[in-house]
Structure 1
């Protein structure tokens, strides 16, 4: 059983990585091309309504997706009942947001936003059609099929976005690209998923998942609102151009930080749910997950801080230079993301969804207080407040989640401290390049990256860190599986 679980996990990670990075990579590449054709203001306008779409998507799923994955005795009736519930909630959400669109435009004092909202919010019912198909594939750990759907939809929607951006040169290119991505993905999941709903709906089935799902819904709503509170605040108190700079910086830093962590999380949740009763086994598994994920993500984010100037100039151009400092600050938040996410996943696996909800409320109260304080100053202080928030709530997450499996704050920091120290030493080495006579951005970027990577791995090898001993065999195995 252990070997089977290991094989499924490795195979799942491989295809989950292909899914996440190929799809997101295509989206980023297309976004970078479009960034040369549109203005920061165009990206900022779409960013203004991101929070409303995000909340709608959370309501539509309502936590039933994770409830279905976690259950061991799911029936076809369960799947069909949740499918129809998703559609019903999608129609309700779209109708409400359609009516609220003029108020959203008034809130931002931007009249054209009304029509943009009404079209953009079509992603809600469109996405609802593919939710159960995606959930079934996740439960089966069939990330290969999910990867095909994500890759194809991202590629074709990206091409559509580039063509429209070149021809119409305004925010509508981004709107249509977004809708087409969700639409194509739902269509492909229906074609390759081989699941069709029954013409039956069971209230009993929904009730059996209600308690667990509603806690996750509450958690998701609060999390979604606060994750998108920065676009909301920046769009309201600053302007669309500033929001465009911030949004592009945030999108770029999330590519490695969020993606790598979520790749592992998506696989670990269904796999570790099968061994949730064996606490010692699960504790050791999570210890390796935290150390390995942090070993990959943290140095990568520290490297991005060191190469931010060259990276932004090469990818986006001088017109986006104002986003460089935002990007560097947000990379600190991204560096800590694995610890946040993996610790929260522990609570969901052991079924502590109510505790997750309570902690989420506490965390977001802290965030709102920090924003209220920072909003009195300029944008830099507002963005720095995210770093302060991330550090404060990290201790909160590590304490309560670690308590469930006897893997607390001190043990976690002891395990990750070598990675932190050696990453900062490597950053110090590449920081010395500021004293070297000017080189072309691309040449300097390559030299910095090679110096950082070589020094980081050599230092880990010299000091024989435990994270290195965990991560290298796993990475080698993943490469072998891909081949």
Structure 2
């Protein structure tokens, strides 16, 4: 390789790293705004609507989630992974998506009564019919999303998601909740969000609406899409069987408590998960299966993500009950126990999210789906048995199953990148130690405050401050805890931080020198 070629390669890596960092930063910024907004809006709507409305909406979301995979079939994702694309590729993706989404929407409308009968909730039939148009809207929007992801333009994607949520839930949803006071407030918000999101995305891509159905020329696309579809369906089963069993076995109110607790804990993680996985997938797709680069990036991501989320969710586990009371109100107190279980699952989703792109970009697309099947079958049987005891028992079994599946996927990623057990342990050990420390402190504080019957809001505030103080103290004492990625962010922040914060930031960053 000549000097110029080396310089070009170095510049390419630098450019890719910069674009990846910018893309993820935009995602984090937009998602932090959305998380804060979600807590306020969802909490307000929960107080207006109650558990039954959330239970009915959760049934609709389950049906939408399953059927939406057939509506897209992974064809749009292929646009991201291809090194080069043309207008014919876009037209084929758009044509397949529109055809499949139309068929799926018709099928949901035609079978809505049977779906409602399955859940034992006849009132859910109209919910399914009303939500069906979202299949078509989202399938077209997915083409725009893929085109933006190719360019790592997550700024546009996140702004569209945020704009859709603001108009859909914060405005339309809240108004409908006040005046309708039924599950249809959530349905109206969902429809509006999808439409606004699509319009904002398409405004920035302006791709032609030409349809191409030349299946014979698109064997690779269909094969890739089939693998994506199979993987998504298995992931849906793994993530939704628990809710399906709760909705089928217990009443609508029970599903409402279950889904509301799940949303409270997983909404912030879910938003970060989508952004993180998309960013890592797009970035690794451009590494051309360069395993040393991928290995370094993966270990750095494990260090940073585990350090950020594991201690936070251990603390959240201790504060789950006051959190539910503050956000949802006293009528939702039964959701607190579910929220605790979900706190143990949530951080693992992000670690899963950075492991999947490794498999997909190293020629192991089908592995993720195949290794999960035994776990899902076993967990489905176990959750069915647990349902004879309580809906909380179902959540506990689901948590154990999710942990086992996540560990398996991460082991496969490490095997693919030739990461040894010692390397991985060194990457995640600081987060485990810090989680244990913050967990013990949070437990001691919450136990004492609960025994003194302190108000939920005050318990939550004090617990959060104690957690933040413990984290800062630990990092000041051992600056080397901070991974390089986070240290670089701190260094950039130090230039804009107030004067009194400079010594603290400098101390935190000293472990990287």
TM-score, length basis structure 2: 0.89
Distance in 2 between the 1:322 and 1:174 partners? Answer: 21
User: 1:12-31 maps to which residues of 2 (within 5 A)?
Assistant: 12-31=23-42
User: Which deviations, in whole Å up to 9, do the C-alpha atoms of 1:268-299 show, x marking residues without a partner?
Assistant: 11111111321111101100011111111111
Partner of 2:484 in structure 1? Answer: 470
Q: CA deviation at 1:24?
A: 4.8
User: 1:102-121 maps to which residues of 2 (within 5 A)?
Assistant: 102-121=113-132
Distance in 2 between the 1:119 and 1:297 partners? Answer: 37
Q: CA deviation at 1:76?
A: 1.2
8 Å contact from structure 1 (residues 422, 460) kept in 2: no
Correspondent of 1:69 among 71, 80, 83: 80
Distance in 2 between the 1:481 and 1:320 partners? Answer: 44
Runs of at least 5 residues in structure 1 that lack an aligned partner in the other structure: none
8 Å contact from structure 1 (residues 83, 132) kept in 2: yes
Q: Is 1:381 matched with 2:393?
A: yes
Partner of 1:95 in structure 2? Answer: 106
Partner of 1:124 in structure 2? Answer: 135
User: Which deviations, in whole Å up to 9, do the C-alpha atoms of 1:457-478 show, x marking residues without a partner?
Assistant: 3224424444x13353244267
8 Å contact from structure 1 (residues 398, 409) kept in 2: no
8 Å contact from structure 1 (residues 58, 224) kept in 2: no
Moved more, 437-446 or 167-176: 437-446
Q: Is 1:78 matched with 2:89?
A: yes
Distance in 2 between the 1:478 and 1:358 partners? Answer: 43
8 Å contact from structure 1 (residues 265, 342) kept in 2: yes
Partner of 1:365 in structure 2? Answer: 377
Distance in 1 between the 2:99 and 2:479 partners? Answer: 55
Distance in 1 between the 2:313 and 2:399 partners? Answer: 14
Q: Is 1:442 matched with 2:442?
A: no
Correspondent of 1:48 among 52, 55, 59: 59
User: Which deviations, in whole Å up to 9, do the C-alpha atoms of 1:353-376 show, x marking residues without a partner?
Assistant: 111221232332232132133222
Distance in 2 between the 1:307 and 1:347 partners? Answer: 36
8 Å contact from structure 2 (residues 52, 253) kept in 1: yes
Q: CA deviation at 1:480?
A: 8.1
Distance in 2 between the 1:4 and 1:61 partners? Answer: 31
Moved more, 39-48 or 454-463: 454-463
Distance in 1 between the 2:227 and 2:211 partners? Answer: 28
Distance in 2 between the 1:460 and 1:390 partners? Answer: 30
Choose between structure 1 and 2 for higher RCO, CA contacts under 8 A separated by at least 6 residues. Answer: 1
Runs of at least 5 residues in structure 2 that lack an aligned partner in the other structure: 1-11, 498-513
Partner of 1:266 in structure 2? Answer: 278
Correspondent of 2:359 among 325, 339, 347: 347
Distance in 1 between the 2:391 and 2:86 partners? Answer: 51
Cα distance, 1:475–1:445 mapped onto 2, change above 3 Å = farther
Q: CA deviation at 1:387?
A: 2.1
Q: Is 1:292 matched with 2:307?
A: no
Q: CA deviation at 1:427?
A: 1.6
8 Å contact from structure 1 (residues 283, 405) kept in 2: yes
SS at match of 1:186: helix
8 Å contact from structure 1 (residues 48, 235) kept in 2: yes
User: 1:74-223 maps to which residues of 2 (within 5 A)?
Assistant: 74-158=85-169, 159-198=171-210, 200-223=212-235
Distance in 2 between the 1:206 and 1:345 partners? Answer: 23
Q: Is 1:228 matched with 2:240?
A: yes
TM-score, length basis structure 1: 0.94
Cα distance, 1:410–1:256 mapped onto 2, change above 3 Å = farther
Q: Is 1:323 matched with 2:338?
A: no
User: Which deviations, in whole Å up to 9, do the C-alpha atoms of 1:221-268 show, x marking residues without a partner?
Assistant: 121233122221111101110111111110111133333333222211
Q: CA deviation at 1:399?
A: 2.3
